[in-house]
Amino acid sequence: MNKNNLRRGYLVYPKFQVPLILVNVSINWAILCIFGYHLLRSFRSLREMGVEANLPVGHPYFKFVDYHAFTLYSNLQYGLILGAIGSICLTLFLSHRLAGPIVRLKSYLETVKETGKITRLQFRKSDFFSDLAPLVNETLENVKDRDLKKVNHE
């Protein structure tokens, strides 16, 4: 997907969406790092227990601990990558439903400001803030009606 398709598709307000995605991925990454740190401490503790038990360096216990530490860290890396991809996709999808109405409202108000023509504002059915479009429409209709009444009385 090229940049223009992404922008027309889901990245409609990059100044909002990109920082939101970065914050979300950073939080997930920090959680996994904390989790990984505590796992590292646990495996070090298991190794220390083997040393305190006077097990020789090549003992199967150490191989067992090292194997499971390696396996767990490998899986943690996969989890970090898959979690980042999932987080990016879900945040992009949800932020699109949030940013879309804002972008649409900005564009609508700019058009009204430039042309003076008031049309009905509509959002997609899946967008957040679905109650905002009817409110804007009613407000502008009331302003328009007031202006017409004012002109007729003068």
Domain for residue 64, yes or no?
Answer: yes
Domain for residue 1, yes or no?
Answer: no
Specify the pLDDT at position 10.
Answer: 85
What is the distance between the alpha carbons of residues 142 and 138, in angstroms, rounded to a whole number?
A: 6
Domain for residue 133, yes or no?
Answer: yes
Specify the pLDDT at position 133.
Answer: 92
Domain for residue 114, yes or no?
Answer: yes
Domain count within the chain: 1
At residue 16, what is the residue type?
Answer: F
Question: What does the buried/exposed string (b/e) look like for 46-59 if buried means 16 or more CB atoms within 10 Å of the residue's CB?
Answer: bbeebeeeeeeeee
Do 105 and 121 contact (CB within 8 A), yes or no?
yes
Domain for residue 131, yes or no?
Answer: yes
Per-residue pLDDT of the chain in tens (154 residues, 90 and over written 9): 445 444 467 888 899 999 999 999 999 989 988 999 999 999 999 999 999 999 999 999 999 999 999 999 999 899 889 989 999 999 999 999 999 999 999 999 999 999 988 899 999 888 998 899 999 999 998 888 887 777 777 6
What is the distance between the alpha carbons of residues 35 and 39, in angstroms, rounded to a whole number?
A: 6
Domain for residue 7, yes or no?
Answer: no
* Residues of the domain holding 138: 13-153
Domain for residue 5, yes or no?
Answer: no
Domain for residue 4, yes or no?
Answer: no
Among residues 145, 135, 105, which one has the least CA distance to residue 123?
105
| pTM attached to this predicted model | 0.71
**Radius of gyration (Cα) for the chain, nearest Å?**
28
DSSP state letters, 4-72: HHHHHHT-S-HHHHHHHHHHHHHHHHHHHHHHHHHHHHHHHHHHHHHHHTT--TT-HHHHHHHHHHHHH
